[in-house]
Structure 1
């Protein structure tokens, strides 16, 4: 069912990444890790993970993080539609949802491994926020990879959360190293493989390119004892 939203703000997080805050005309009930569809036309509905947690204003505010470089019109057109709705000040931005089966299984009470590449961070951000707000105290390991450190737009926020919450471990990973970066380098999957001898006891949630999700499932199950039934990603519905 279409839900009309007022666009509260469109903020640049990096050169090509935007935070969009939506106020839907009716509360949206969803689970951490689900996504919504931005309705651009009757047969043109584009999926984006919900970055906010379900407990934020009881579904009366939704947050999206959209990577929208000029060479990616699929996403850029959605950002531009949000900007137009913001300028008009009406509820002309339309969504549907929630969608997706890769939501947080919080009742399982297993340690969590959250892995994101780029703006896939919005998927794990919802889960982390939800766990902290609901005082879910299982160990949480969040690995976030970007091509350059500028893509890790919430790096300082996550470092602060990890210091504040003893059950949270945050590992940022940068692919293109430069002299100012003092953290881990390489791919986010290589970092996970280096840090874990076994993943058999973990629930693993992954957001990024399809090829990354596919490689993670192969590597983690064959080399680290992970169970396919304990690995979740929207990509797995298509792989």
Structure 2
């Protein structure tokens, strides 16, 4: 079943990344960490994680983060469609019902949330949900990007971590620029350096399929992780 939405905002975040805010014709029920498909044609549906949590207006407002560099028409076309629908003022942006099995489980275990690029939207949904539900389990957020510019919510996440002592935010870039003082390198290697064991954690991963595959191999073989506590929608395809 498809859902028609109005587009209430299309805003640049940073480095060819856009925030698209949707108002569905009816409230949408979903779990934090699920995704929707932007329907571009009968056989053309493109997946994007929901950056909003189900708590936002009880599913009455949805948010997508779309990385749309010029060389990525797959995403850029979605942004252009959202802009056109915004200008029309009509409910002309079509999405599928939320899907995905790597949604946030209820648990007392500490959380390790790992994102690459705009995979951060997946993590953001979970963080917002945990804060709104006053979940106090330790939360470690590792966000990897090529350059600091691509960490479009860096300051916002730093502020959240300062406000909530149980949240730790660790941004990692491959190429340091300007006055960057954070971690430099690969985000998975940063996790491996910081944790001797991960067996006690629930781990959620969003990023390129190859990244999820490498994480699964490393964490299970070298850090004592059980696959029962490791979640990524990429695992359904690799």
Q: TM-score, normalised by structure 1?
A: 0.98
Instruction: Determine the C-alpha separation between the residues in 1 that align with 2:170 and 2:204.
Output: 15
Instruction: Determine the C-alpha separation between the residues in 2 that align with 1:134 and 1:67.
Output: 29
**Which string of whole-angstrom CA distances, capped at 9 and with x for unpartnered residues, describes residues 162-205 of structure 1?**
11101100001011013411111001001100000100010000
Instruction: Determine the C-alpha separation between the residues in 2 that align with 1:135 and 1:80.
Output: 37
**Which string of whole-angstrom CA distances, capped at 9 and with x for unpartnered residues, describes residues 145-174 of structure 1?**
110000001001111111110110000101
Cα distance, 1:51 vs structure 2: 0.1
Cα distance, 1:44 vs structure 2: 1.0
Instruction: Determine the C-alpha separation between the residues in 1 that align with 2:82 and 2:122.
Output: 20
Gaps of 5+ in 1: none
Instruction: Determine the C-alpha separation between the residues in 2 that align with 1:87 and 1:15.
Output: 23
Question: In the alignment, what sits opposite 1:203?
Answer: 202
Cα distance, 1:15 vs structure 2: 2.8
Question: In the alignment, what sits opposite 2:134?
Answer: 135
Question: In the alignment, what sits opposite 2:22?
Answer: 22
Instruction: Determine the C-alpha separation between the residues in 2 that align with 1:130 and 1:61.
Output: 14
Question: In the alignment, what sits opposite 2:44?
Answer: 44
Question: In the alignment, what sits opposite 1:64?
Answer: 64
Instruction: Determine the C-alpha separation between the residues in 1 that align with 2:150 and 2:36.
Output: 23
Question: In the alignment, what sits opposite 1:11?
Answer: 11
Structure 1 residue ranges (4+ consecutive) displaced by more than 4 angstroms after TM superposition:
none
Cα distance, 1:14 vs structure 2: 1.0
Q: Equivalent residue of 2:20, what SS?
A: strand
**Which string of whole-angstrom CA distances, capped at 9 and with x for unpartnered residues, describes residues 109-132 of structure 1?**
211000001000000000000001
Instruction: Determine the C-alpha separation between the residues in 1 that align with 2:46 and 2:208.
Output: 16
Instruction: Determine the C-alpha separation between the residues in 2 that align with 1:28 and 1:179.
Output: 42
Gaps of 5+ in 2: none
Q: Equivalent residue of 1:166, what SS?
A: coil
Segment of structure 1 superposing worse, 110-119 or 176-185: 176-185
Q: Equivalent residue of 1:3, what SS?
A: strand
Q: Is residue 225 from structure 1 mapped to residue 224 from structure 2 by the alignment?
A: yes
Instruction: Determine the C-alpha separation between the residues in 1 that align with 2:5 and 2:182.
Output: 39
Q: Equivalent residue of 1:206, what SS?
A: strand
Question: In the alignment, what sits opposite 2:187?
Answer: 188
